[in-house]
Amino acid sequence: MSHMVYGCVMTVDKSHVLRTAATLLTRKATTSLDEIAKVAGISRATLHRHFAGRDALIKALEELGITRFEAALDAAAIDEGDATGALRRLITHIEPEAALLAFLTTENQLFVGELHAGWDRLDERMNSLFRRGQESGEFRVDLTAAWCTEALYGLVGAAAWAVHAGRIAPRDTEKMIAELLLGGVRRSMEQ
């Protein structure tokens, strides 16, 4: 019985399904599995074959988001160079996953039970980046690292929503997030 070889016959792109689910669930948290399957272009039966149920789908969404976020942190090499540059690189790598991240940070339903252990690790890496910037003198110290982390999450979500609403161009999101987070809206006196 040496069958069960994975990887070639799988015509369903789980990542695509999950992204579709993230988009729909962000817009309407009560979206039915029927609609998710329909928009993803698969039947409800197939959706159910890949994800046992709604909870499993949400769980997979969480897993994917954490994985992508972690990958973005790695790709941005946030521990190298100055914190400002590291933060810019991070935003660049996070932006493509904005919709997914926005879903995870707003769907607090995930945290009613136990929260995924991966989040602790991500939060810690984020916090350490801001702390590093504070210690190097790049970042102000009157804003806690924890708040800066939460603010980044919030801004990423706001940007995703603004793009969806057509208020800002997709190509501008990266700059908008980075500039606002780093410099704020106030015109600097030095300029």
Partner DNA sequence: CCGTGATGAGACATCAATGTCTCATATGGT
Partner DNA sequence: ACCATATGAGACATTGATGTCTCATCACGG
Q: What is each CA distance from 56 to 49, 52, 53, 63, 182, in whole angstroms?
A: 11, 6, 5, 10, 37
Binding mask 155-174 for a copy of itself (x = CB under 8 A): x-xxx-xx----xx---x--
Q: Is 105 in the site for a copy of itself (CB under 8 A)?
A: yes
- Name the binder of 32 from DNA, a copy of itself, none, CB < 5-8 A by kind: DNA
Shortest CB 46 distance to DNA, Å: 3
Q: Which residue shows structure tokens 């890949």?
A: 50
Q: How far is CA 8 from CA 12, 13, 55, 77, in A?
A: 11, 12, 27, 33
CA 69 vs. chain centroid, Å, equals 6
Our finding on whether 7 is near a copy of itself (CB under 8 A) is no
Give, in order, the Cα–Cα distances in Å from 73 to each of 8, 88, 101. 30, 11, 13
Q: What tokens does 29 get?
A: 């948290």
Q: Which stretch binds a copy of itself (CB under 8 A): 4-12, 37-45, 72-80, 179-187?
A: 179-187
Q: Does 142 bind a copy of itself (CB under 8 A)?
A: yes
Q: What is the binding site for DNA (CB under 7 A)?
A: 1-4, 8-12, 32-34, 41-46, 48-50, 52-55
Residue in 187, 83, 178 with CA at minimum distance from that of residue 133: 83
For a copy of itself, give the closer residue by CB, 12 or 179: 179
Given the complex with a copy of itself, which of 65 and 133 has the nearer CB atom? 133
Minimum Å distance from CB 5 to a copy of itself? 29
Q: Residue 136 has which token pair? A: 């190097």
128/35 Cα distance (integer angstroms): 40
- Is 176 near a copy of itself (CB under 8 A)? yes
In the bound state with a copy of itself, the residue whose beta carbon lies nearer, of 12 and 181, is 181
